[in-house]
Amino acid sequence: MEYFPSKIAPFTLKLLNLLFVSDRKLCFPAGSPACYLLPMPNATRIKKSTVRAEPNQSPASTFNEAYYKRFYLDRETRVRASQDHKRLADFVFGYVDHLQVPIRRVLDIGCGLGHWKKEVARKYPKAIYTGVEFSPYLCRKFGWKNGSAADFKGQGQYDLVLCQSVIQYLPDSQARKAIANLARLCRGATYLEIITRMDWDEHCNQDVTDGNVFLRPGKWYRTLLDRKFRNAGGGLFLPKSSGAVLYELEGPDPNR
């Protein structure tokens, strides 16, 4: 199926305000689980630390009740409030609509407490939502399908795949499999959020961000993603088979 926008929608002007940043004065807030990017005026709050090449313990072992209470529920330590989730969802859905990708089936890998489920129901009430979670605790609590980004089989392909702050918790071999698996599952668009080494050093508020992850350079991810996707900017990736039109300046410079 091919999707061709007939004209540049007014939404494009708002989109440009989010995607094109002047002198890094604004960082679009990302973050769940346990990631929050600071606007530069608050940069003095960022605490520098030595980058870890790998977590101190298996990340999977931390996805228990205490983890979600700290990073999601406690007002003093949670990574974002409900209005932040809505703002991010509005951005992702707005861009997908601008590209005229119809949304009938949504796959949310690493669905956590179900923030995306609520936003999908608000924007696409007729869409079929599938939530997948690695945490046994959350699967018991919310009834999610148990699985990993690296090996979830799914049922066919999905119009929108959401994978927010998941892949940095996987070791290299599993992260490679996850990116390939996301490409296999996606027929419309994939939203990805992944903390890199630079993000941890320069952008993340380390007071509330989980640093017990695999911190890899952005180039490592781009090399893998470029094999399967077209980068549409703003964390949105289109499978190579997608017919959605990207104007020249809406994606990265192909010569870089």
168-185: per-residue pLDDT in tens?
Answer: 999 999 999 999 999 999
Question: What pLDDT, on a 0 to 100 scale, did the predictor assign at position 252?
Answer: 79
pLDDT band at 82 (very low <50, low <70, confident <90, very high): low
Report the Cα 155 to chain-centroid distance in Å.
Answer: 21
Domain ranges of the chain: 50-247
Reduce the DSSP state of residue 154 to 3 states and report it.
coil
**Looking at per-residue confidence, does 97 or 40 come out higher?**
97
Reduce the DSSP state of residue 166 to 3 states and report it.
coil
15-41: per-residue pLDDT in tens?
Answer: 434 444 433 333 333 344 444 444 333
197-246: per-residue pLDDT in tens?
Answer: 999 999 888 877 777 889 999 999 999 999 999 999 999 999 999 989 89
127-178: per-residue pLDDT in tens?
Answer: 999 999 988 888 889 899 999 999 999 999 999 999 999 999 999 999 999 9
Which pTM was predicted? 0.74
Are the CB atoms for 78 and 71 separated by under 8 Å? yes
Neighbours of 81 (CB within 10 A): 10
> What class has domain 50-247?
alpha beta
Instruction: Measure the CA–CA gap between 159 and 102, rounded to whole angstroms.
Output: 7
Q: Is the pLDDT of residue 13 over 70?
A: no
